[in-house]
Amino acid sequence: MNALFLAPLGRRGARLLVAAAIAGAAIGLGLPGGTAPGDAADRFVAGGPATERAPLPPEQAAQVLAAASSSRQRLGLPGPAAVRVDRVTDRFSGMTYDEVTATDRAGNTLHLQRFDDRGRLVGAVSFGWQSRGGRPMPDAEAARARGSRLAADLGLNVSGAPDVRQDPDDGGWTIAWPRVVDGIPVLGDGARIDLWPDGRVHAVVLAEKPLESRPSSLLDEGAARQRATDTLGDLFGSRAGQIAIAAVGLGWVAPNDAFDPAAPDAPGSTLRLAWVVEARTRGELADGLRAVKIFLDAGTGALLGGDVLR
Amino acid sequence: MSPGRRTRQLALPLAMVALAAIVAGPARAAYQATVDSNVSAFSFDCININDTFPTKMLTAAVAGYRNLGFSTTGYSGPAFTRAHVLARTPADWGYYVHSHGDHYLNADGKRYAGFKEDAGLCTGARTVFSKEIAAARVGRQSNLVIMSTCHLGETATTMPGAFAIPMVKAGTGAWAGPNFYLGYLGAAWDSDEFAFETRFWNALRPGYGVGQAFDVAKLGSFNVGFAANWYGSYVWTGRAGPLPPGCTKCV
C-alpha cells in the first residue's frame, strides 16, 4: 500500500509528506522539537527549541563574568544586582556561546552579553524601550562617528564605511559593517551596533561564520549566468518568461533547504562560495512573488539553496 | 500532465491537511489563534519546485502560539482564503500570517495595509485589507499579531489598528495592554523572517516579555537592510487572553 502510494509521489513529494506528518505529530502531541541533548542526530527542527542551556563550571564562569564586567562598562550598561551565566548551544546558527544575563534587585532582566569560544563579544542587548534619554544625535554622520568609536573600543575589527540607517518611531540608529573577504561579500555576516537616539548602546552583534575552502577553479560569470538561466527555466517552467535575472555576483552563503524539503531546517553553519543570482518577477507572477535568489556552487554550479521575496 | 507531476502537486495540500488535522488536537485554552501561511504560489501546484520557508514558518508559529496558551490552528493552501480570515478574525486573540503584503489600493480609493490569501491559487489571489479585518472585529481586543510579510511593520501600516493594538511602543514602566504587533520594514526575504521568528519564539520563556524576545531575535545574521518593528507592550508575557484579575502587567 505504502509503496503504491509513495512511488508516484516521487522522492521529494514523499519526503515532504513524511516531514510534515512528523512535524504535525510533534506539535499535536506537544513534544519539543529536535532531539535530546548529546544525540548524534541533534539538529534544529522548525517549531522546536533553537537553543539549549547548561551551567558553566565555576572557573570558566568566573572568566566569562570578568569579560562581561569589562565590556559592560565599555557598552555603558547599568550595573546589575545579580548575574547568571549559561553555556548556550544554538542549533539554528550552529554556534556555541556563553551568555551573561544581568538582573536588577526586583529580578527584572536588564541586559545580556554573549561571548564566543575565543572570548570575543558577539552579542549584547540592553532591554527596554529607551528612546527618550539625553540630547538626540543630530544626524547620520554623528551616529556613524559614535558607532565607529564604539566598534573600535569593543575590538570589533571592522573596516570600511558602515551602512547607517535611522530606525522608525524614534528608535535610534543602526550602524552596520557587512563582512567582506578578499572583496567578496559574506552574506549575513558582519558587525552591527544599534544606538538609541542619544547615542547610548541598544545592541551589538558580531556574526563571523567559518568559510569553506575556495573551490580550486571557479565558473566564470558568463557560465554562472547561463546555469542560472537554465535553473530558473527549470524552476518556473511555463512561467519563466515572467522572471528575469537582475544581478549576478560571487558571495559566501549558508547553504539552505529553500528548495529541498529533505535538507536541514537550519542554514549551514559553514559558508560556501557561490554565485548569488537574484531574479525579479513581473506580470502575474509578481502578484505573489517579488524576487528569488538562487545560490550556485562557485565551482560546480550545483544548487546550494536560495531565498524568496514575497 | 504526467501522473508523477499530478501526484507531486497533491503532496503539499495532502501534507497541509495532515498537519492541520493533527495540530487541531486538544485545546489548551479558550483563546483562539489562527496561523495562515501562503504556500501555493511558490509550490509544485504552480511551478516546478517547493519553497520550504512557508511550511516551516507555519509549523513554528503554530508551536509558538500553542506554547503561549492559545488554541491554535494552522491553515494554508485552499483553506487559507480571504473569506476564512474574515470569518475567523472576530474570535481570534492571536493572528499570524506569512504571505505577500503591502499597502494596497482599495476600491474606496485609499491605501490600506493588506496581504494576499493563498486559496490554492497560482495567480489572482485576493487581498485581505486591514479595513475589512477592522470591520469584522469592530474594535475587539487582541493579543499577539504577527504580519510575516513585506512592509506591514512600517509606520504607515493600518494593520495594528484593525486588531485594536495601539501604534505606541510602551516600554519598561509603560503599558498598552496585553498586546503586541510584529511586522517588517520594506521588502523582507523569507530567510530573514524565518531566522527572526525562530529566535523570537525561542526567546519567549519565563522572565522574558515579548519585547525582550523581539530584542533577542535581532541578535542574529540577516541580509543587509532587514528590519523588524513592533507596537504594543514591551513587557507583556505574550500569554493568551486578557490579564487575570489583580494582574496589571504580569511580566
State pLDDT tens for residues A95-118: 999 999 999 999 889 999 999 999
Share of chain B above pLDDT 90, in %: 73
Same domain, A64 and A151: yes
Distance between B146 CA and the closest CA of chain A, angstroms: 16
Same domain, A202 and A225: no
Share of chain A above pLDDT 90, in %: 77
Share of chain A above pLDDT 70, in %: 87
Mean pLDDT across A188-210 = 97
Rounded to two decimals, the pTM is 0.88
CB contact under 8 A, A288 and B218: no
User: In this predicted model, which residue has the larger pLDDT, B157 or A9?
Assistant: B157
Residues 6+ apart with CB under 8 A from A237: B47, B48
**CA angle, corner A98, sides to A97 and A103, nearest 5?**
135
DSSP letter (8 states) at residue B248: S
pLDDT band at residue B249 using 50, 70 and 90 as cut-offs: low
pLDDT for A169-183, tens place per residue? 989 999 999 999 999
Q: A172, A207, A242 — which closes off a domain? A: A207
For residue A251, pLDDT over 60 is answered with yes
Angle A140-153/A58-75 helices, nearest 10 degrees? 150
Cα dihedral value A10, A280, B111, B86, nearest 10: 0
User: In this predicted model, which residue has the larger pLDDT, A3 or A130?
Assistant: A130
Mean pLDDT across B106-121 = 96
User: What mean pLDDT is reported for chain B?
Assistant: 87
**Domains present along chain B, CATH in parentheses:** 3-233 (3.40.50)
Residues of B in contact with A265 (CB under 8 A): 56
Same domain, A17 and A77: no
Residues of B in contact with A171 (CB under 8 A): 169, 229
pLDDT band at residue A286 using 50, 70 and 90 as cut-offs: confident
pLDDT band at residue A273 using 50, 70 and 90 as cut-offs: very high
Instruction: Give A54's strand partners.
Output: A87
Mean pLDDT across B123-141 = 96
Q: Contact, A54 vs A86, CB < 8 A?
A: yes
CATH of the domain at A250: 3.10.450
Torsion over CA: A19, A20, A22, A26 (sign): positive
Distance between B3 CA and the closest CA of chain A, angstroms: 7
In total, the C-beta contacts within 8 angstroms joining chain A to chain B are: 229
Same domain, A59 and A18: no
User: In this predicted model, which residue has the larger pLDDT, B23 or A268?
Assistant: A268
Distance (Å, rounded) from C-alpha B101 to C-alpha B113? 7
Same domain, A111 and A25: no
Q: Please tell me the predicted confidence (pLDDT) of residue B49.
A: 74
Q: A159, A184, A207 — which closes off a domain? A: A207
Residue that has been written with the C-alpha cell 533577542 in this structure: B216
For residue A84, pLDDT over 70 is answered with yes
Same domain, A157 and A94: yes
In a domain, A216, yes or no: no
For residue B2, pLDDT over 70 is answered with no
CB contact under 8 A, A8 and B218: no
Q: Please tell me the predicted confidence (pLDDT) of residue B142.
A: 97
Task: Give me the interface pTM, i.e. the ipTM.
Answer: 0.87
Same domain, A70 and A196: yes
Give the chain B residue nearest A266 (alpha carbons).
Answer: B195
pLDDT band at residue B243 using 50, 70 and 90 as cut-offs: confident
User: In this predicted model, which residue has the larger pLDDT, B172 or A279?
Assistant: A279
Q: Please tell me the predicted confidence (pLDDT) of residue B248.
A: 59
Candidate from B42, B59, B172 with C-beta closest to A128:
B172
Residues 6+ apart with CB under 8 A from B199: A50, A92, B216, B217, B219, B220
User: In this predicted model, which residue has the larger pLDDT, B79 or A132?
Assistant: B79
Same domain, A201 and A229: no
Q: A207, A242, A260 — which closes off a domain? A: A207
In a domain, A281, yes or no: yes
Q: Which domain holds residue A3?
A: 1-31
Distance (Å, rounded) from C-alpha A14 to C-alpha A45? 18
Residues of B in contact with A44 (CB under 8 A): 198
Question: Which of A6-15, A62-71, B229-238 comes out lowest in average pLDDT?
Answer: A6-15
Domain count, chain A: 3
Q: Please tell me the predicted confidence (pLDDT) of residue A238.
A: 86
For residue B131, pLDDT over 50 is answered with yes
Q: Please tell me the predicted confidence (pLDDT) of residue B46.
A: 80
Q: Contact, A185 vs A174, CB < 8 A?
A: no
In a domain, A44, yes or no: no
Same domain, A111 and A257: no
Share of chain B above pLDDT 70, in %: 86
User: What mean pLDDT is reported for chain A?
Assistant: 87
For residue A49, pLDDT over 50 is answered with yes
For residue A127, pLDDT over 60 is answered with yes
pLDDT band at residue B45 using 50, 70 and 90 as cut-offs: confident
CB contact under 8 A, B42 and A288: yes
For residue A154, pLDDT over 70 is answered with yes
Mean pLDDT across A41-56 = 91
For residue A13, pLDDT over 70 is answered with no
Residues of B in contact with A251 (CB under 8 A): none
Q: Please tell me the predicted confidence (pLDDT) of residue B206.
A: 77
Q: Contact, A267 vs A278, CB < 8 A?
A: no
Candidate from B48, B59, B98 with C-beta closest to A23:
B59
Listed residue (B127, B126, B135, B121) closest to B89, CA to CA: B135
Residues of A in contact with B151 (CB under 8 A): none
Same domain, A202 and A237: no
Same domain, A176 and A230: no
Q: Please tell me the predicted confidence (pLDDT) of residue B80.
A: 98
In a domain, A73, yes or no: yes
For residue B22, pLDDT over 50 is answered with no
Same domain, A173 and A260: no
Cα dihedral value B36, B41, B42, B48, nearest 10: 140
In a domain, A181, yes or no: yes
Mean pLDDT across A179-202 = 97
Exposed e or buried b for every residue in A44-61, given b needs 16+ CB within 10 A? bbbbbbbbbeeebeeeeb
Q: Please tell me the predicted confidence (pLDDT) of residue B250.
A: 58
Candidate from B56, B221, B225 with C-beta closest to A46:
B56
Q: Mutation test of the interface with chain A: which of B2, B53, B59, choosing the one with the most A Cβ atoms within 10 A?
A: B59
Q: Please tell me the predicted confidence (pLDDT) of residue A27.
A: 38
For residue B8, pLDDT over 60 is answered with no
CB contact under 8 A, B174 and A129: yes
In a domain, A40, yes or no: no
Mean pLDDT across A135-160 = 95
Give the chain B residue nearest A207 (alpha carbons).
Answer: B221
Q: Please tell me the predicted confidence (pLDDT) of residue B122.
A: 86
Rounded to whole angstroms, what are the CA distances from B8 to A9, B57, B59, B178, B230?
A: 5, 21, 21, 43, 39
Question: Which of A239-243, A293-297, B27-31 comes out lowest in average pLDDT?
Answer: B27-31
- Determine the distance from the C-alpha atom of residue A85 to the mean position of all C-alpha atoms in its chain, rounded to a whole number: 23
In a domain, A39, yes or no: no
In a domain, A42, yes or no: no
CB contact under 8 A, B219 and A205: yes
